[in-house]
Structure 1
Amino acid sequence: MAAVWAVLVPLVWLIPDLSDDPVGWHRQELILGFAGAAMGGYLLTALPHWLKQAGAGAKGPGRRAVQALVLAWIAGRIAAAQPGDGALVLLGIAAYPVALALSLLIPVLSARLWRRLPIALAPVGLLAVGVGLRLGGDGLAAALAMALIVAVVGGRIVPAFLASRAAQATPLQRGALPAMARLADAVLALALVGHLAGVGDSVTGGLLLAAAAGQAARMGRWPLAAGLAGGQGDLLMLVLAWVWLPVGLTLTGAGLILPDALAGLPLPTGLHALTMGLMGGMILAVMARAYMRRAPGALRVGAGLALAFALVMISTLLRLILSATPVALSVPAALWCLGWAVFTLCALRSMAGPTPHPVLSAARGYSISGLH
């Protein structure tokens, strides 16, 4: 559903008069619809692993509960397409994020997995972002909130996957984050709070530049060379998507501090580095792991998934390069849609076969053939 929605939402820029408010609908649905579905898919896949690690008897939501979540997501998309901000519209939009949060919180609390609470509450943050967009249209706050969610979640899984592939037992795998990572996330959170509190663009921009430096510096502790050795395409996709975090924060911060100096690269373009590049790239890179071919201790990306990821990355670069030529912005939109269409075809092909286990990482010590 996330991939299908990623194909459909940008069509408002390619088909005239498809929406009365293309900007508002585009922002809202890429957050609540696309990112919301992807968040549910990832967290519901990770939940059984969390419970197993804790040796807990609690179970995650079953088949019927997941089907109900899908229906709630669809109802939310219908509600989001309605005009106005009435109570029924807002309730329809809130149904899926609230239901997803409850599906995660109940087993997490039952198993006393206290350190998983912030991630289990991520759907509530997603809801706050979506409602804020619906009522206030604050695109900067929405982009920074999504960047913070990716920094918190992605900042754990990317180095953990790298360390696992490099066969290193690091503190990251036990859930402890280095001081630099915690500080970088805290500064990014402070920038978001400062913006919402109205501290001014210069202060927010300065905090974003500091957060960008911290997010780049934290990569110094990652086992990049060992983790990427041997052409590990699945991990390279994660790292390339992550790089958009410091890049996007830098562009956004500079755009807030020196808007005139960056006249050829306006603030919305910097925000697209965080939404298209970081959010879109990271979601695709994580989702694709479920559809890659298994080899002993490794995941093989395959031509289709590699093409899909490349198209999304190229679309982001073109969105930055062509920002001064609005008439040409349909090109990156079309490439984004094409990339996600290719991904959808790869996913549907894989879904015809058995589900690989573990879903998001390579099986160790043996080969699972026939799974893609």
Structure 2
Amino acid sequence: MSHDKRPRIPRGSRGDGAALWSYGFRPFFLGGAIWAVAAMALWIAALAHGLPLGGDLGAPLWHAHEMVFGFASAVLAGFLLTAIPNWTGSLPVSGQPLIGLVAIWAAGRAAMAGAGIIGLPLAAGIDAAFLPALLAIASREIVAGRKWNDLKVLAGCAAIMAGNLGFHAAVLTGGNPQAWLRAAVSGYVVLVLIIGGRIIPSFTRNWLSQRGAARMPVPFNRFDMGVIACSAGALAAWTVAPEGRVTLALALVAAALNAARLARWRGLAVRAEPLLLVLHGAYGFVPLGFAAIAAAGAGWLLPVSALHVLTVGVIATTMLAVMTRATRGHTGQALTASRWTMAAYLCLFAAALARPLADLTGTMGLMEASGALWIAGFGLFIIEHGPMLLRVRRQPRRAPA
């Protein structure tokens, strides 16, 4: 019997009003996917036709910023605003507060795109408002729900927020913002290590249990804690000294440890369900990403290619995997991947591999193909899952007594 005196409230949102504003994953997954397509199309236009982007920021830095702090921050928001109510049993942010938060994010995208018109200082100020607002909401909900173990998730979010603030400060003072970009990317990767280490073996265990399998994924233990700690150390070294010998050594160790960690989760046993298999495949880019960091440190790979293995391979593929699964699950759809969904996964996996291959082989066509595959992957998500996000509503469930 529970001694919690708080009133029992429905887990979900009100049944009236537009479905889009009923849960955080709806506008942020849809908006993030649309911006993923639009921002990449603008970047390709800048490369091919010299389209001016970002004003004095320049097109390359604008592209990097909008992928890391524009697209990815939206998906992060959608995930947190949906997962935290499940962790705490509280109501989700919906209605006017959710609309306000989306408006802050959208204003940042417009400001950064129009930085050449309104000026970089104002654009930076508008853009910088979103992540602190998101972190404040997430912190409030976790603390109110007394879910102290989930505070570590906020550390990754704080690193991303600091990366964005540091990026703008470096640009406005004439400095180099690359270290701040790496810090933010590291924050996202740490979140994949923490959250992926929670959901991938859990979902796998549930799926195998339903089919009467005897062998299950190895549960979280001290080995996982050691892998996360070593990986965080390697990412910290990469952030401050990407070509240092210590970074190279730590990255190689982290690559081996994460490969071993992934092997403990029995990914091949779920190959019959792509919606679950893709999570294992996305995590497979974690050891590849650390190996790429080591290769770049040794001079065998361009640093930008190692960065893209992490941003596209680890972050974006994990996000697409979570977006598809969460959208289907929270709108009452079957948790199984359609051919369209599988095609979207394959497009993003191919995009992640094509970018470093372009540098290794000197084939510029692969770089263009990587961008086109990225657009195709998120475009397919919009076509298939957009109607679910806009219209499909599942009845709210009551919190357990």
**Could you tell me the TM-score, scaled by structure 2's length?**
0.77
Per the TM alignment, residue 358 of structure 1 is displaced from its structure 2 partner at its CA by 9.2
With over 3 angstroms needed to count, the CA separation of the structure-2 counterparts of 1:316 and 1:216, relative to structure 1, is same
Deviations 1:32-60 (A, max 9, x none): 111100001111111221122xxxxx544
Deviations 1:252-282 (A, max 9, x none): 11220x20xx2xx322112211111111110
User: Aligned equivalents of 1:273 and 1:103: distance in 2?
Assistant: 31
Tell me the SS of whatever aligns to 1:300. coil
Q: Tell me the equivalent position of 1:147.
A: 189
With over 3 angstroms needed to count, the CA separation of the structure-2 counterparts of 1:215 and 1:297, relative to structure 1, is farther
With over 3 angstroms needed to count, the CA separation of the structure-2 counterparts of 1:357 and 1:35, relative to structure 1, is farther
Q: Tell me the equivalent position of 1:346.
A: 384
Q: Tell me the equivalent position of 2:200.
A: 158
User: Aligned equivalents of 2:242 and 2:136: distance in 1?
Assistant: 34
Tell me the SS of whatever aligns to 1:61. coil
Q: Tell me the equivalent position of 1:302.
A: 338
Question: Please, which of 50, 72, 84 is the counterpart of residue 17 of structure 1?
Answer: 50
- Is 2:76 aligned against 1:39? yes
With 276-285 and 320-329 compared, the bigger mean Cα shift is at: 320-329
User: Aligned equivalents of 2:390 and 2:285: distance in 1?
Assistant: 33
User: Aligned equivalents of 2:347 and 2:336: distance in 1?
Assistant: 18
Per the TM alignment, residue 13 of structure 1 is displaced from its structure 2 partner at its CA by 3.8
User: Aligned equivalents of 1:305 and 1:358: distance in 2?
Assistant: 26
- Is 2:111 aligned against 1:71? no
- Is 2:220 aligned against 1:177? yes
Deviations 1:84-139 (A, max 9, x none): 653x4443222111111121111211121101112245432221222333422334
Q: Aligned letter for 1:96?
A: F
Asked if the contact 1:36–1:123 (Cα under 8 Å) also holds between the matched residues in 2, the reply is no
Q: Tell me the equivalent position of 2:321.
A: 285
Asked if the contact 1:3–1:344 (Cα under 8 Å) also holds between the matched residues in 2, the reply is yes
With 181-190 and 128-137 compared, the bigger mean Cα shift is at: 128-137
With over 3 angstroms needed to count, the CA separation of the structure-2 counterparts of 1:172 and 1:111, relative to structure 1, is farther
User: Aligned equivalents of 2:371 and 2:242: distance in 1?
Assistant: 34
Q: Tell me the equivalent position of 1:186.
A: 229
With over 3 angstroms needed to count, the CA separation of the structure-2 counterparts of 1:197 and 1:248, relative to structure 1, is closer
- Considering Cα pairs closer than 8 Å and 6+ residues apart, tell me whether 1 or 2 has the greater RCO: 2
Asked if the contact 1:248–1:274 (Cα under 8 Å) also holds between the matched residues in 2, the reply is yes
Tell me the SS of whatever aligns to 2:369. helix
Per the TM alignment, residue 172 of structure 1 is displaced from its structure 2 partner at its CA by 9.1
Asked if the contact 1:60–1:104 (Cα under 8 Å) also holds between the matched residues in 2, the reply is no
1:1-372 matches, within 5 Å, as 1-15=31-45, 16-18=49-51, 19=53, 21-52=58-89, 58-81=90-113, 82=115, 86=121, 88-134=122-168, 135=170, 136-138=177-179, 139-167=181-209, 177-198=220-241, 201-226=244-269, 228=270, 231-256=272-297, 258-259=298-299, 262=300, 265-292=301-328, 299-323=335-359, 324-325=361-362, 327-328=364-365, 329-356=367-394
User: Aligned equivalents of 1:290 and 1:144: distance in 2?
Assistant: 24
Per the TM alignment, residue 149 of structure 1 is displaced from its structure 2 partner at its CA by 2.3
User: Aligned equivalents of 1:65 and 1:182: distance in 2?
Assistant: 36
Per the TM alignment, residue 325 of structure 1 is displaced from its structure 2 partner at its CA by 2.7
With over 3 angstroms needed to count, the CA separation of the structure-2 counterparts of 1:268 and 1:315, relative to structure 1, is same
Q: Aligned letter for 2:38?
A: L
With 73-82 and 336-345 compared, the bigger mean Cα shift is at: 73-82
Asked if the contact 1:171–1:177 (Cα under 8 Å) also holds between the matched residues in 2, the reply is no
Deviations 1:222-260 (A, max 9, x none): 14354x06x11111111111101101111111220x20x
Percent pairwise identity: 28
Asked if the contact 2:234–2:250 (Cα under 8 Å) also holds between the matched residues in 1, the reply is yes
Unaligned runs of 5+ in 1: 53-57, 360-372
User: Aligned equivalents of 2:396 and 2:345: distance in 1?
Assistant: 22
Per the TM alignment, residue 195 of structure 1 is displaced from its structure 2 partner at its CA by 3.9
Number of aligned positions between the proteins: 344
Asked if the contact 1:27–1:133 (Cα under 8 Å) also holds between the matched residues in 2, the reply is no
Asked if the contact 2:327–2:388 (Cα under 8 Å) also holds between the matched residues in 1, the reply is yes
User: Aligned equivalents of 1:356 and 1:180: distance in 2?
Assistant: 39
Per the TM alignment, residue 69 of structure 1 is displaced from its structure 2 partner at its CA by 0.8
